[in-house]
Structure formats: C-alpha cells, structure tokens
A = this chain, B = another copy of it.
C-alpha cells in the first residue's frame, strides 16, 4: 500500500480511502490510485485489515472426521452440501475455511474462532457429538450444525424435515401394497432417528402396528448393511419392502437383494434417502426422499448470522419431497396424494 501511495504521490490514508470506496476522495485521484493498484496487482492485506478493524468475514466449515466409518468421503450428498455452503458464502463474500477434524475435540472446534481466524463455525453433520457441540456453543463460539433439532440443544441447527421424509417414504411403500416394511439405518444418529419416527408415523396413520423387529441399526458401512440384510431376510421371510436411511445404503441393499435372487420392486420394494443424482441411473432407478440441498447453504449462513447477532440458537427445517421411481410399486402420479 505504501508503494501505491508513493507512486500516486499521496499518503497511505488516501489510498486506503480510495480503495475502499469511501466518499471524501476526489474522483480523478481515486481513478489514478485504482489504476496503479491494478497495475501492481496490489490487494489489501486482509490480515492487517482484519487486525485493525477487529473483525473478519471468514467462516470455519467442519466436516467431521470419522476414523471408524468410511461413511464420509464417498457420499455425493456431502459434496453437494459443501458446494451449497461454498456458494452461499461466496455470494455474500465470506471466506470458507475448511477443516476435517474429529468433532469430539471441542478445543479444535473452537480454535478457528478463538484464534480469530473465523467468526463462526458450521458443522456438517452432528453425528453422536451432541454434548460436545453444546460445550462449543457454551464457550460462546457462534455455531450452527447441519442436523436434527435435539431436545436440550444449545446450538443452532439447520436440517431437513427428516420425519416428514420418513413418513413420505414409508407411506409410499405401504400404499404400494407393502405390509412388512423393514428399516435399515443407525437410529442412534438423531437424523436417522427422525426418519424412523416418520416410519412409525406412517404405520400409525394407517392403523398399522410398526413392525419393530424389522428395524435394523446398520451404520453406513457397506459390509454391515449386507450382514444386517442377510439376517433380516433369513429371519423374516415375510418382509416385502425396505426403507434405507440413505441412498448409499439403499444401493447396497438393492445390490445384495439382486445377488440373493430377489427382484425389486416385484419381490421387495426399496426406497432410499438423499436423492443423489446417481440413483436415477441405477437398475432399477431408485425411489428416494430428496432434501433441499440448494437451500441448505443459505439457511446455514442465515442461522449463523443470527447467532452472531445474538440470537438464541435458532433452528431451521427444510422441506423434503418424495421422488418415486422404479424401485417402488406405486406409480409417480398416484403417489402425489401421499402424506
């Protein structure tokens, strides 16, 4: 900046004013300064600027690192979500500091904010770390989590209407003629628990008793899903539909059913969750519950800004919709009336 000032024959104060578009600067001077800056490829030092104004526009986005499961980094939904966040931040000229850390480490979650690198944190997926997240929020770190609204949470959340999604999926299966619908998914995860609650809802709404023995708590890992499915098929021959709590799980399920010589949807219907683009390419094309990814980034940012402004842990729920395809029996038009 000193260089620009010297070349323009003015003080750094004027350069600062000119470059930031402050009013009290003569237009011709401003143009001269801008020209010189451009020529030098000069950009204002963000660190120095932030230090002076005691403020920054960087947001820390944390993708939980799950050493146990291979769940995380092959899921296209996660990429779509991160992309949505990146776009929302870019649109509002925030910077995005990405980190992949173990969410149990409260200290590391807070570090970016406490070292003033970032003004707030977005965590993509709450997993089992409810209590740790509460601790982060208690420490005064502006925090918003993509996930489910949990009783007693002190952090902001943005997430899909998982319960509605679960209800839509299950209703679709039942109305397609299924009587014994299995649920595969790790219900110890809050989001999955809500999907399961919707599954129960749909049964009740039809005067049916949800068959709890058909709920299998398989984590996202492929091998586990296959094992649970095998045991399910062996023990419960009457089963005629499967609601998988993610598309990745559903894909594994369809593949395994095929190897077992069972046809989808003739022998068993299958519905997934997330509606990743790929499921339309499966054979059969997979019915799935779509989340509103495009809205997610903007909603997360809105919630975070509210928290920064002192709001008390707001919570936003985004709509889910059913996308009927070939893996379920009810025709797309018929399923329109579902709830």
Contact = CB atoms under 8 A, between A and B. Distances in A.
Nearest to A74: B277
Given A98-B98, A111-B43, A115-B46, A79 B74 contact: yes
A255 B283 contact: yes
A12 B215 CA distance: 59
Contact of A251 (B47, B99, B278): B278
B100 A86 contact: yes
A139 interface: yes
A116 to B, nearest CB: 5
A95 B60 CA distance: 10
Contact of A258 (B83, B87, B283): B283
A56 interface: yes
Interface in A64-83: 70, 72-76, 78-80, 82-83
A72 B277 CA distance: 12
Contact of A47 (B61, B70, B117): B117
Interface residues of A, number: 53
A16 interface: no
A44 interface: yes
Chief secondary structure at chain A's binding surface: helix
A45 B117 CA distance: 7
A333 interface: no
Interface in A235-294: 248, 251-252, 254-255, 258, 276-278, 281-283
B73 A79 contact: yes
A273 to B, nearest CB: 16
Nearest to A277: B74
Contacts of A248: 278
A48 B46 contact: no
28 contacts: A41-B110, A41-B114, A43-B110, A43-B116, A47-B50, A47-B56, A63-B86, A73-B79, A73-B83, A74-B79, A74-B80, A79-B82, A82-B82, A82-B98, A86-B98, A90-B99, A90-B100, A95-B97, A95-B99, A96-B98, A97-B97, A98-B98, A248-B278, A251-B278, A251-B281, A252-B281, A254-B283, A255-B282
